């Protein structure tokens, strides 16, 4: 063992944040009036004022960390539009618009395409279903892509073609973890955390070989959508109820910042779902 091995054993890694560019859609029209995932219960009403306050606290958290937050106009009749991550995937100058699985959300694609156009992108489309950054997570210069519930595996090849980045397919098995961002968190260009039971054996094997040092999260944290986080490489904004995961993050040298998004959880989403990241070109 060299001195530097010993040092790295006792000194936590210094995690370095980078400034990020996010886009968010206010929960102005957010309700739970249909149920397309097991978290949604149409008999459990949303408190609109509380939802708005929680969303604003998330936005302010990003601003305090120095990040840029663009705000997308919410549209009446599209209650799930608050989950901006699903609107598409923006990597470098490539902006792929979502194609939604359920008719209830289909109209959001036009709204997100219009926003991307206004933001100066030329929107690109897939033939197969893709639910944007719900299932397509950029890690360094590759994309981890979920399938099983929402995004079609056939869209993964289309995403690789459109972005020019390698795409790793991961198959989800538990309906509570219907989007990849509910079961796996990207913490920096080489570090992830995930909930192993949400994946098939083959996909778990893929994750262990790609990320041998990944953080594994327990059921208590996974079941409050604790993995639905946004990280700048140092600060990890996460649901405040995920206290076990917060402690793990601290042990790994990250700085967890808990936010309470209890109203947004009623629709089956949390921090990451509400946040579309506009990635700089990772190539």
Q: Does 179 contact ligand ARG by CB under 6 A?
A: yes
Which lies closer to ligand ARG via its Cβ, residue 15 or residue 74?
A: 74
Lay out the site mask for ligand ARG across 139-168 (x = CB under 6 A, - = otherwise).
------------------------------
Q: Least distance from C-beta 215 to ligand ARG, angstroms?
A: 19
The tokens 């598409």 sit on which residue?
88
Lay out the site mask for ligand ARG across 72-111 (x = CB under 6 A, - = otherwise).
--------x--x-xx------------------x------
CA distance 59 to 64: 9
CA distance 67 to 253: 20
Region binding ligand ARG by CB under 6 A among candidate stretches 15-23, 49-57, 174-182, 206-214: 174-182
Q: Least distance from C-beta 3 to ligand ARG, angstroms?
A: 44
Region binding ligand ARG by CB under 6 A among candidate stretches 10-18, 33-41, 54-62, 137-145: 33-41
Active site residue 274: no
Active site residue 273: yes
Binding ligand ARG by CB under 6 A: which of 147, 182, 203, 240? 182
Give the list of residues 6+ apart from residue 280 with CB closer than 8 angstroms, or none. 21, 92
CA distance 222 to 225: 5
The tokens 């219960």 sit on which residue?
41
Structure tokens at 178: 């219907």
Which lies closer to ligand ARG via its Cβ, residue 129 or residue 162?
A: 129
Which lies closer to ligand ARG via its Cβ, residue 15 or residue 237?
A: 237
Q: Is residue 27 within 8 Å of 55, Cβ to Cβ?
A: yes
**Could you tell me how many residues of this chain bind ligand ARG (CB under 6 A)?**
16
Which lies closer to ligand ARG via its Cβ, residue 83 or residue 195?
A: 83
Residues lying near ligand ARG in the complex (CB under 6 A): 36-37, 40, 80, 83, 85-86, 105, 134, 179, 181-182, 267-269, 273
- The residues assigned a catalytic role are 179, 273
């Amino acid at each position: 063992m060299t001195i530097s091995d010993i040092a790295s054993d006792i000194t936590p890694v210094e995690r370095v944040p980078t400034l990020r560019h996010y886009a968010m859609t206010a929960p102005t029209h957010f309700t739970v009036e249909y149920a397309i995932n097991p978290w949604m219960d149409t008999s459990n009403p949303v408190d609109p004022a509380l939802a708005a306050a929680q969303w604003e606290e998330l936005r302010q958290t990003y601003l305090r960390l120095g990040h840029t937050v663009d705000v997308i106009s919410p549209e009446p009749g599209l209650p799930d539009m608050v989950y901006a991550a699903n609107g598409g995937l923006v990597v470098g100058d490539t902006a792929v618009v979502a194609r939604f699985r359920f008719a209830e959300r289909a109209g959001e694609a036009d709204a997100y395409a219009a926003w991307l156009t206004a933001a100066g992108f030329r929107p690109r489309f897939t033939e197969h279903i893709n639910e944007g950054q719900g299932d397509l997570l950029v890690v360094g210069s590759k994309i981890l892509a979920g399938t099983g519930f929402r995004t079609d595996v056939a869209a993964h090849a289309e995403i690789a073609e459109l972005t020019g980045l390698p795409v790793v397919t991961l198959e989800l098995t538990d309906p509570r973890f219907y989007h990849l961002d509910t079961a796996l968190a990207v913490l920096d260009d080489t570090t992830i955390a995930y909930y192993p039971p949400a994946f098939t054996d083959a996909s778990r094997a893929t994750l262990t070989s790609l990320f041998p040092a990944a953080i594994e999260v327990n059921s208590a944290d996974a079941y409050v959508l604790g993995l639905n986080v946004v990280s700048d490489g140092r600060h990890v904004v996460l649901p405040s109820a995920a206290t076990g995961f917060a402690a793990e993050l601290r042990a790994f040298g990250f700085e967890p910042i808990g936010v309470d998004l209890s109203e947004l959880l009623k629709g089956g989403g949390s921090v990451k779902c509400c946040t579309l990241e506009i990635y700089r070109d990772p190539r």
